[in-house]
Chain A
Amino acid sequence: MEHVVQHSDPHYDPEASKLGMWLFIFTELLLFGGLFIVYSIYRFLNPEAFQMAAHELNITIGAINTIILLVSSMTIAMSTSSLQQKNKGLTVLLLEITIMLALIFLINKYFEWGVKFEHGIWPGSQHLINDMGQGEILFFGLYFVMTGLHALHIVIGMIIIIVALRRVQKGTTHADRPSLLENAGLYWHLVDLIWIFLFPLFYLIH
């Protein structure tokens, strides 16, 4: 049987905000989903070119970034547990670690993109258009769009986590009102989830 409760004021319903966050995550998944469709079609049409182009990418950096994100996912998941155990100090610490890891991910990404730029590879660059085949152009076009959009989500996720961190410090997000932190966590896991698929699709083509 359904039990539904009306909250008059303050309108606080943790289940509702969790459901809302999940629905938002679905839209994010479909947003990247569109890109995955494009990727899979073009990889199907240009299998060799994608393989050649993937050699430009450094598996080690990709793997390091994967592990960084996985660890950060764990720390933010732990922070929700520690919030419920009313361990404010540990929650704050875990969130700070998460933000630091996100920053390291972005720095890695910055250097990774920088190397591409040094090699003359960026969307619409002369080197790409004149010296490379169409499959490579598509590969790098998608590489920049997908990792770029993912990086944008990292930045958004960091902002959300920083807001959650502030609220935890101020005490407005606590064991009885954990929604903001839990939703920040969900969003961060989404970012992780997308990377889990981006990594093999771009780095592991051999």
Chain B
Amino acid sequence: MMRCCCLVLLIIFFAPLSSLAGETKVYPREVQIYPREVQIYRGEQTLFEDTVWSGEILIDGILTVAAGVTLEIRPGSRVSFTRFDSNGDGIGEHEIFTQGTLRVLGTEEEPVLFTSAEEIPRPGDWGTINMMVSETENLLQYSIVEYGYRGFHAHFSRARLQNSTFRNNMRGAQFQESQVVIDGCRFLDNNNGVQFRDSKVTLSGSFISGNQWGLRCVYSDLIMTDNVIENNLVNGVNIRDGKINAQGNRIVNNRRGLYLQRSEGRVVGNDLSGNSEHGIFLEDSNVEVVDNRLAENGRAGVRWLNSKGRLARNLIADNGVYGLINDGTTAVSARNNWWGTIDPADIVAAIRDGRNRPGLGLVDNRYALMQPLPFDLLGTP
């Protein structure tokens, strides 16, 4: 009798626990060729041999490219992903996951499209083009990547994104501990344009616009030349604890233009104008800011907070409230700039520092230029 009671109790206790484990999703391991010549990958599948795609490909699961294997995608291919959101967080999980090498070889006339398979697509329908420890150089060339959670995502990988468009994703590109070259790409209307951490990145000739955040990174080295970063809702570029070399970029009409926190580097020959708050905001940073145009920003051309470095040979004119705000307690070296006027009183009025806010550091604005230097974006052709 006692034994029976124990058994009954055990069943009562453990039956619900087994149901908590949930249903196991069973994926058939198959590749089907349909009459419309759509190549379909369902469930969890892995490519163990070099593979070439062209035409229509449907990913209805998670497709892994094994280490040492190359997946090549030919011009004009269309790769679509079904929406599968197991935990209801609004983020689709179907994706390509590569530990091998991905070579997407679109052309200007025949780009490769990565998109949602849904009739009414939305950002986050599918996961990402995902790379993990993929150290041979991956290439996305003339690709269009849309409606993903992250258009491109990488950990410990090397990649070149070239002449590709990332649009309407939750994040256009996001990566960590990677080396990525981004050249001639467009990041349009994503929640966040480009985001990375602990990476080395070269960004050139690219266009980042209409995102909530333009570019945001931490603990990274960034070389950026000849880019246009405009009309992003929050910051155009935000770098924290990083190194930057920015040359010849137009970072305009964002809320903040270039926002550097605890970072160092050079900002030379850029147009940092028309931003709602500040053209450049330096916070606890050490940066050389030379030969830039800092004009028509809403609150100030430059906001300087406890930073080192030099502000020289810039055009700082026609900004809203001030040309330069020193909000820190340290001095600012700001010699040889054009302040939009040769009137010493007006130059002083363009600067807010310890002279009108006791306790703040002073700005050394001596040797103001008598006329603006010819401004030219100094980017590499």
Judge: A and B partners, yes or no. Answer: no
Interface residues of A (CB under 8 A from B): none
Interface residues of B (CB under 8 A from A): none
